[in-house]
Structure 1
Amino acid sequence: MSDDSAASPPVTPGARPLADSTPAPDDDPGLDPTLAPAQAVALDSADGGRPHGIPLGARLAALVEVVLCSSIPTQVAITLALSAFGWRPIEEDGGLSFRFVVALSLADTALLIGLMAALLRARGERPSSLWLGARPPGREAMLGLLSIPGIFVVVVLLLNALRVLAPGLRSPDGNPLEQMLPGEAGSVALFGLVVILAGGVREELQRAFLLHRVEQYLGGTTVGVLVLSVAFGLGHFVQGWHAVLTTGLLGMAWAIVYVRRRSSVGPVVSHAGFNALEVLRVSLMGQ
């Protein structure tokens, strides 16, 4: 996805273009390696990296991009398209349709990643700089891999604690996504692939893109991490309030990792691995 043109990319007024410079030292959190020195928006690390001096039009344009890439417009459009071909999200027994969820998730992943890449390029930014960063991807992938067991154990402990201390947070009807999962090995493997691509890959690239826009135009780093974590949790409301709380905290952890390392590789590997373990757990042990 990289662009090797020697010419400098056009700069939208108020934007923070992604530079090809080496990342700033870890001991200087005030420097952001994704900023071109002469073109950076003024950021004050003391107030959560809040951008200053951004024109209203630029903020509104960024807000439109955030809404477009929130998954709501794309999933509504794909749902309407699938429905036009006779696909229905709900089976006759009232449960979610496995094939519909698979088709919707994979189509949304492809559409959304393409849309985000196009919007980045339209502003003269490189998707590879935003998502891969300047750190060695192999090392980032290893860090993500090493985080999976710890995250899985913490989530299991948290869910069990919520089951005991706040049983009302769990949906009385159970988790519809777990109930939807067929018992056949082939279907389990397919669903595992879906949660890796639509969950691990798409959601972490999406998180980085949305956080990048909020940092640039809409409130800064702290606002971005908090708002996107709440939204990520609420996006799992269908699974129950316990899932909202747990996934919101997970989203915050992955967002903080991205902010610290400016690479989506680690969060992608960590998220994908966690999702794969969850599918394996449900297929072997049930809910």
Structure 2
Amino acid sequence: MNETNPVRPLGWGRFLLQFLTVLIAYFVASVPAVLLLGVTAWGYLLSVMGSMAAALLVAWLWLRRDGALAQAWNLARPDSWPRALAIASGATLVIVFIFTASGPVIDALGLDQVDVELIMQFITESPLMLALWIAGVAWLAAGLGEELLWRGFLLDRLMRLPGIEGRIWIAIVLQAVLFGLPHLYQGWGGVLVTGLIGLLFGWLRIIAKWNLWPLVIAHAAVDTIMMGLGYAAAQDWITIG
């Protein structure tokens, strides 16, 4: 990564403090909406958006304090938008293929299949709810938020740690594992698939010359496609599987 300004050195203790405070902010902020609105489409929508906003705020404070904000959250204009969009398009196709082809592999490993039934129940309640989930979750919380958090904040922090600094693939693997584990609510199959996608996104950050836009676009596009297909299937417009 190109450094233009000195960045505060990062040790393991400081990293753990940063990571834990981001996680605490995420989980604490996820509670109020569900307590107030229950396990509903609105409750989960606001919970997901609120928790991501809180986590990003804490991550932003740490990155800014350490002088690493510009490197970690590189949302500058890409050197070439056609190249950035080509990377995003290719990644979208690969990830959709991974989701499509992962079923038999998960079965062969004896793991539970990826379970997104609850989310699909929410987004298929109405066209309005589909639009809100696409905008609020697919594009903001997941597409933009998760890339800033995992491939931005976390990958940057890991790459600066003693013993990992200069070993980019160790950092990429670790962030992929940590990215996959929170998806345990989808079953171990969900953890496996999400972790694999985390590896791909980590590699894409290198290919994209550390610019986050191709990753944000690909992530949001995949979630939009999946939500759209789920809604279409619920309306009997198409048949899946």
1:186-197 correspondence to structure 2 within 5 Å = 186-193=128-135, 194-197=137-140
Report the RMSD for the aligned CA atoms in angstroms.
2.8
In structure 2, what is the equivalent of residue 87 of structure 1?
37
**Alpha-carbon distance, 1:164 to partner:** 5.1
Structure 1 gap segments, 5+ residues each:
1-31, 42-53, 91-96
Structure 2 gap segments, 5+ residues each:
235-239
In structure 1, what is the equivalent of residue 222 of structure 2?
274
In structure 2, what is the equivalent of residue 217 of structure 1?
161
In structure 2, what is the equivalent of residue 74 of structure 1?
25
What is the rounded CA distance, in whole Å, between the counterparts of 1:129 and 1:166 in structure 2? 36
Using structure 1 for the length normalisation, give the TM-score: 0.69
**Largest Rg, 1 or 2:** 1
Code of the aligned partner of 2:146: E
Query: Secondary structure in 1 aligned to 2:47?
Result: helix
Percent identity, aligned pairs only, is: 18
1:22-171 correspondence to structure 2 within 5 Å = 32-34=1-3, 58-69=11-22, 72-82=23-33, 86-88=36-38, 90=39, 97-127=40-70, 130-132=73-75, 135-136=78-79, 138=81, 139-159=83-103, 161-162=104-105, 165-166=108-109, 168-170=111-113
Q: Which has the larger helix fraction?
A: 2
* Structure 1 pair 217–246 and aligned structure 2 pair: CA distance change class (3 A): same
In structure 1, what is the equivalent of residue 127 of structure 2?
185
> Does the CA contact (< 8 Å) of 1:147 and 1:270 recur in 2?
yes
**Alpha-carbon distance, 1:144 to partner:** 1.0
What is the rounded CA distance, in whole Å, between the counterparts of 1:255 and 1:129 in structure 2? 13
Correspondence 1:201 to 2:144: yes
What is the rounded CA distance, in whole Å, between the counterparts of 1:127 and 1:271 in structure 2? 21
Using structure 2 for the length normalisation, give the TM-score: 0.81
Query: Secondary structure in 2 aligned to 1:169?
Result: coil
Of 244, 248, 253, the residue aligned with 2:195 is 248
**Alpha-carbon distance, 1:108 to partner:** 2.2
Correspondence 1:229 to 2:172: no
In structure 2, what is the equivalent of residue 20 of structure 1?
none
